[in-house]
Amino acid sequence: DAGVIQSPRHEVTEMGQEVTLRCKPISGHDYLFWYRQTMMRGLELLIYFNNNVPIDDSGMPEDRFSAKMPNASFSTLKIQPSEPRDSAVYFCASRDSTGGGYEQYFGPGTRLTVT
């Protein structure tokens, strides 16, 4: 089975540009999570969805960040406008609530560099 798929793997953009990160969760998983990893702050939860509905977005750093999940197989994380401090690795993860183990499966991440 395919794991969590993220695109692009690397993104380099200039300050002020819009950035869109994409995620396809594991088929059948009903939870989707977005995390950000930086050297200073480690791994932080940004937002998560259950059955395509945003449940907790308290980790989203500011209004420049937005996330959507239009269907069960696709989610986006958008940054507009981007700033150098947004440079990080962004992970998407998914989980199956019927499993009972609560483990999350991560995608390969998108390394974002804002110059």
Which spans of this chain sit near another protein (rule: CB under 8 A)? Answer: 31, 33, 35, 42-43, 45, 48, 50, 55-56, 59, 89, 91, 93, 95, 101-106, 108-109, 111
Q: Given the complex with another protein, which of 17 and 97 has the nearer CB atom?
A: 97
Q: How far is the CB of 83 from another protein (least distance, A)?
A: 22
| Proportion of the chain in helix, strand, coil states, percent, rounded to 5 | 5, 55, 45
Cα–Cα distance, 22 to 11 (Å, whole number): 12
Q: Return the bridge partners of 53, or none.
A: 50
Tell me how far, at minimum, the Cβ of 45 lies from another protein, in Å: 4
* Nearest by Cα to 52 from 71, 36, 79: 71
Strand partners, 94: 32, 105
State the nearest-atom distance from the C-beta of 56 to another protein, in Å: 7
Q: How far is the CB of 114 from another protein (least distance, A)?
A: 18
Q: Residue 50 or 87: which CB sits closer to another protein? A: 50
Q: Which of 45/78 has CB closer to another protein? A: 45
Burial of 110 (0-12, 13-18, 19+ CB in 10 A): buried
DSSP 25: P
Q: Which is nearer to another protein, 82 or 95 (CB)?
A: 95
